[in-house]
Amino acid sequence: MSSSVKTCVTGCAAAMLLTMNAMADESMLDPAPVSGWIVTLRANAGFSPTWDGSKNLSPFLLPGLSMRRPGTTVGFGAPDEAPGFALYDNGVLKVGASGRLRGPRQQSQWGELHGIHDINWILEGGVFAEMWAFKKLRARAELRHGLLGHHGDVAEFYLDWVEKHGPWTFSIGPRLRLGDQPYMNKLYGVTVQDSLYNLSVPPFTAWASAASVGATTALTYDWSEDWSTTGYVRYNRLVGSAAASPLIKDLGSPDQWTIGLSVSYSFKVDMF
């Protein structure tokens, strides 16, 4: 990982660990937590790049899950953030675990990727921390490690301005994604074997860098305490070694759009 990316990721991780340690001491003074969890299931569908860096859009359907303790405030959640659950939440600061699932990239499905190495389903696990700087501005950071599909590290940062009026919630804000060398090279690298089978691209080794910058806007309607619907649009611009990759320059596009609709249902579970 480059020194700048390593400094950023290491600093965020240290801040999260210090925060969780401080909250652990503080929690000894708190009353016993309410039993059970409020589980939120999501069905997320729409159109996104066919593969990371593709110039074409394809339909997608992915599940989502998050959990919170009964009695805690139903907080804001951006539709493009990684699902997870909070280990600590005082209404201003939230720290917890998160994970992300991404679909595979297979050369057999897309003609332009003939000969390019496949990427299986990607599963990432890690931690997140978010804070409300003031009532309408939320900052969130996620640090995740690849468990399946790749074995690199990725950091994502979100900043959202949130306006709530009755059952409606509107949000908009910038995004940033960073990746270490194993992560970037798995997604955007081209091996010698790849280039021999696909003469459209030369060999390329990606380096640790920012992967994308962009923005997301969303509109949510709460039908009840249990049901809600969210529509959203996200734009990402691939940068750094992602933008320099011949996969993007010769076969794809640095401009990445996602249009989606999600439906959420929440219910209480008392078993754990």
Q: Under DSSP, is residue 249 helix (H, G, I), strand (E, B) or coil?
A: helix
Report domain extents, the chain: 3-35+48-71+79-269
* pLDDT at residue 17 greater than cutoff 70: no
Strand 93-102 with 122-134, pairing: antiparallel
The CA distance from 69 to 72, in Å, is 6
Q: In this predicted structure, what is the pLDDT of residue 174?
A: 99
User: Per residue in 140-157, pLDDT tens?
Assistant: 999 999 999 999 999 999
Q: Are 136 and 161 in contact (CB under 8 A)?
A: yes
Which residue, among 160, 140, 122, has the nearest Cα to 84 in the 3D structure? 140
And the tokens for 159? 């900043």
**Which CATH topology does 3-35+48-71+79-269 take?**
Porin (2.40.160)
Q: Which amino acid is at 53?
A: G
Q: Which amino acid is at 55?
A: K
In whole angstroms, how far apart are CA 269 and each of 34, 38, 40, 70, 263? 12, 6, 10, 10, 19
Which residue, among 22, 5, 172, has the nearest Cα to 90 in the 3D structure? 22
User: Per residue in 217-230, pLDDT tens?
Assistant: 999 999 998 899 99
Q: What sign has the CA pseudo-torsion 150, 120, 83, 37? A: negative
Which residue, among 100, 105, 255, has the nearest Cα to 186 in the 3D structure? 105
37-41, 70-74, 152-156, 209-213: range with lowest mean pLDDT: 70-74
User: Per residue in 68-97, pLDDT tens?
Assistant: 777 666 678 899 999 888 899 888 999 999
User: Per residue in 109-144, pLDDT tens?
Assistant: 888 999 999 999 999 999 999 999 889 999 999 999
Q: In this predicted structure, what is the pLDDT of residue 19?
A: 43
